[in-house]
Amino acid sequence: MKKFLTILGIILTFFIIYFLQANFFTWFTIAGVMPNLFIILVIFIGLFIGKKSGLVFGLLFGIYLDLLIGKSIGISGIMLGLIGLLSEYIDKNFSKDSRLIIMLIVAVSTAIYEIGIYAFQIIRWKAMLEILPFLKILGIEVFFNVILVIIIYPIFQKIGYMVENLFKTKQFLTRYF
Amino acid sequence: MYKNRKTGIIGVIITIVILILVVILSNTDIKEISYLENIFNSIVMPIQNGLTYLKNKIAGNDSFFVEMDTLKAENEDLKKKNSELEQSLRELEIIKSENDTLKEYVNLKDKYPEYQTIPAYIINRDINNYTKTIVINIGEKDGIKPDMAVIADQGLVGHVISTTENTAKVQTIIDTSTSISSLISTSREAIVVNGTLEDNSTLRATYIPTDATLLENDNIETSGLGGIYPKGIHIGTIKQIVNTKNSIDRYAYIQTAVDFEKLETVLVITNEKEE
């Protein structure tokens, strides 16, 4: 029952983030650049729930986003799924207790996700390659996501360990490394 | 979790404050923060005035300061008149904006009498920084099909890429994957206009003929080639021409006619009216 409620909570969080991104963050921007909270959510799932749930939730959330507003179905799903999978592997090798590590994971994941999305734009939709404007937007987005992680880190970690105790029976002792 | 919980909370609060400051400063036009300019001026100006007074005294041209009192009184009077005028201007601006909104909602169709159009509202915008699509509140049920052109009061918005029963996704002209065959309205030279990542009101004109005469503020309109956009729809005006070593590679930045930040109402062209 608790597991079911947690999954329901994650889905609810996804919709809250969606409405935040579509309304609040369309004007609360840094130089017109929005953050990407979906990446943080998928990292959270990958790190604390594991068992390939990061991949599954990432795929489903991404496909849903593509259906809602995307130009083609699948790329956001693939990239978010990849981020989910990546954070599960990171969980096995790094400590989640360090705020710095979480900030680094979010920064690298945001960069991977957006490079993937932009590369797809160029390959599939023949978009013009604009390296400097892209790097500028990417830099601001990474900075924005990292700042948001610093703010939500206490809640991120507290809820994270509660969820981890529910889902992960065999505890890895990576947090003591 | 924290060695010192209080320090952690203070850290989070400081980060929130910094984030809000960064957001405000990065999105504020320098003209809008003239009050800051006033504060900085009030720190420096009294000293600067004193120094100027001294300099004039030494140079012997202090007659300027004799009329200071008269000028001050005149200035006060003008300030009062100015604030009265500003008040009336504000009232007029409110009336103008009401008028604009009404015109947009009621007479949008009259601007493009040669096309059969359906009005629509934007209900969703892209949540990605690299793509610029919008969702409108009409779909298959209203006869909307992919590849139909979408316009607004000021000019071209984009084209429909997919539809559901009640909604349609529109790829805007500022999306980086948009390419439009266009014409310079004065010289009738053909160019290609692309969306860019620069900002939400800039397009890039490429494939400019080497002998074409390009001038800033020239209007750009659709050429009608390509089968999606009808001919003669206003796209924007040339704001900057960038000349390269090789004249084949030269390009220009175009200011879009439509303000995509404030866009709320659009028209979907279903077909051209028969004469």
Domain positions in chain A: 2-167
Where is pLDDT greater, at A92 or B32? A92
Q: What is the pLDDT of residues B221-254, one digit of tens each?
A: 998 888 888 888 899 999 988 888 787 788 899 9
Q: ipTM score here?
A: 0.81
Nearest to B197 among A25, A68, A133 (CB): A133
Residue to mutate among B197, B201, B251, B260, with most A CBs inside 10 A, is B197
Nearest to A26 among B15, B125, B199 (CB): B125
Q: What are phi and psi of A72, to 5 degrees?
A: -145, 150
Confidence (pTM): 0.74
Amino acid at site B129 = N
Below-50 pLDDT ranges, chain B: 1-2, 274-275
How many angstroms separate the CA of residue A24 from the nearest CA in chain B? Answer: 11
8 Å CB contact between A17 and A130? no
Nearest to A147 among B1, B15, B161 (CB): B15
Beta-bridge partner residues of B221: B183, B234
8 Å CB contact between B263 and B124? no
Cα–Cα distance for residue pair A157/B19, rounded to 1 Å: 21
User: In which band, very low, low, confident or very high, does the pLDDT at A30 lie, cut at 50, 70 and 90?
Assistant: very high
Contact B125 A32 (CB under 8 A): no
The sign of the torsion formed by the CA atoms of B33, B34, B35, B37 equals: positive
8 Å CB contact between B268 and B159? no
Contact list in A for residue B177 (CB cut-off 8 A) is 71, 121, 125-127
Determine contact: A164 vs chain B, CB below 8 A: no
Nearest to A71 among B1, B133, B179 (CB): B133
Instruction: Locate the domains of chain B by residue range.
Output: 5-53, 62-109, 115-275
Contact list in B for residue A119 (CB cut-off 8 A) is none
Q: How is residue A18 written in tokens? A: 């969606």
Contact A150 B12 (CB under 8 A): yes
Q: Tell me if the domain spanning B115-275 has CATH number 1.25.40.10.
A: no
Cα–Cα distance for residue pair B196/B177, rounded to 1 Å: 8
Contact A22 B11 (CB under 8 A): no
Q: What is the pLDDT of residues B196-213, one digit of tens each?
A: 988 888 999 988 888 877
